[in-house]
Structure 1
Amino acid sequence: MSLFLLLVEDNFDLAETIVQYLELEGMTCDHTASGEAGLNLARENDYDVLLLDIMLPRLNGLEVCEALRHAGRDTPILMLTARDTLDDKLAGFTSGTDDYLVKPFDMPELIMRVKALARRKSGQARVLSALDLTMNLDSKEAFRTGRKLNLTPTGWILLETLVRAYPSVVSRNKLVQAVWGDDFPETNSLKVHLHKLRRQINGKFQAPVFHTVSNQGYVLRENDEKNP
């Protein structure tokens, strides 16, 4: 599995062992020993997974993780640390990590977790983006090209589902589940809410980005004449 990883670990012996093992598995791994450098590298590069120690110089792993999430980076993060109490793990997940591996660990388990994380984007990012759309999950504000969108609560859920799935098509059933779960009303409610959302996203802007894909669902993408 060809993956591009970043390891932020100040124990050079351990870091060397991890990097060598990852390379044997066909993965490429950058390494740095400081949190500040790790944060900069994570901002500049498109990594598949980040491996973060917690006890780091300058910025610790929790601070690095939190900064990336508030910047909207959805790269999966695996914390590597000797801290094994429940409070330590809660702190890690609160900061935005996706998984937690306590030292010492077996290398095959590390590989297994890295591969599992690489299959998905993190759900911990606090700012979501797709094309020229952004959503701030903390302030509950959505924007297109910097202009605020006045979304209903249902419109927010629908847009978040579409943004998280971008650039994939989202089926009608998935949108129904996102809003109503198993209690979908026997009305045309979804159609009405999608019409309102489309008007919000496309109506006042030069290029539409919300499209219907015939017999498949809905998608965010650049204007497509085949699927207006």
Structure 2
Amino acid sequence: MAKILLIEDDEELAGTVSKCLKLERYAVDVVNDGSDGLAFALNGSYEVLVVDVQLPGMNGFDIVRNVRESGSKVPVIMLTGKTHIDDKETGFESGADDYLTKPFSVRELVARIKALLRRPRTFDSDYTIGNLTLNTGSRRILKDGEAINLLPIDHAVLEFLMRHPDEVFSAETLIARVWPTDKFPSTDAVRSSIKRIRSAIDVDGQESLIETISKVGYRLNRT
């Protein structure tokens, strides 16, 4: 299940778009402020960003520019009420992959998202932690070179931890950064997810790569 970040300050439009995307079986996070949207984009694991240009806190051009400067190549679709060619050029120069002018058909947005998800993507490198490798092109996680099968949410949790090795995250932080914002899981759901992940990746007789830090959270150790 692909996860999409929608940064749009028009709450009515954001609600309509979010509802339609969820009907297409996408997980969607909605943020109405530009500065908050940038934080979500940099700290979350998303397959596509949909970013409005005119936002409080930070405009869409600056959001995309910061995302690209971080090294992320996540596909970006920009939304705007502006039709001037200069604005579109600014969007593409910032690093956007596609552009939709308001008003637009949500079906058209869905079609463009699907096209971006089908498009081959290039990345600088994979993430390797112990005997695990996150293939960032296919988003598969390999154990000793063999793909492992995980529930979508478990895959998202493990991918997030692999992208942030040696960092400790509380259960609440994992919920905020990985779970869709319309879900309200308990910390028990996080514990269950970690347990399933460990069952899939741990090697008998060796310590788990995922360490539980008592009363703090979880950390994926490099060694």
Q: Please give the range of the TM-score, normalised by the shorter of the 2 chains.
A: 0.5 to 0.7
Map 1:5-154; keep pairs closer than 5 Å: 5-120=4-119, 129-131=124-126
Q: In the alignment, residue 98 of structure 2 is paired with which amino acid?
A: D
In 1, Cα distance between the equivalents of 2:139 and 2:54? 36
Instruction: Call closer, same or farther: CA 1:166–1:31 in 2, change over 3 Å.
Output: closer
Map 1:147-186; keep pairs closer than 5 Å: none
SS of 1:73's partner is coil
Q: In the alignment, residue 87 of structure 2 is paired with which amino acid?
A: D
In 2, Cα distance between the equivalents of 1:121 and 1:76? 11
CA-CA distance at 1:119 after TM superposition: 2.0
SS of 1:56's partner is coil
Q: Which has the larger radius of gyration?
A: 1
Aligned to 2:165: none
SS of 2:56's partner is coil
Unaligned runs of 5+ in 1: 133-163, 169-228
- State the number of aligned residues: 134
SS of 2:124's partner is strand
Instruction: Call closer, same or farther: CA 1:122–1:87 in 2, change over 3 Å.
Output: farther
RMSD over aligned Cα atoms: 2.4
In 2, Cα distance between the equivalents of 1:167 and 1:20? 25
Q: In the alignment, residue 35 of structure 1 is paired with which amino acid?
A: G
Give the TM-score of the pair, scaled to structure 1: 0.54
> Mean alpha-carbon deviation: is it higher for 72-81 or for 38-47?
38-47
Q: Which has the higher contact order (CA 8 A, sep 6+)?
A: 2
CA-CA distance at 1:26 after TM superposition: 1.0
Give the TM-score of the pair, scaled to structure 2: 0.55
Deviation >4 Å, runs of 4+: 164-168
Q: In the alignment, residue 19 of structure 2 is paired with which amino acid?
A: Q
Percent of aligned positions with the same letter in both sequences?
A: 39
Aligned to 1:4: 3
SS of 1:43's partner is helix
Aligned to 2:163: none
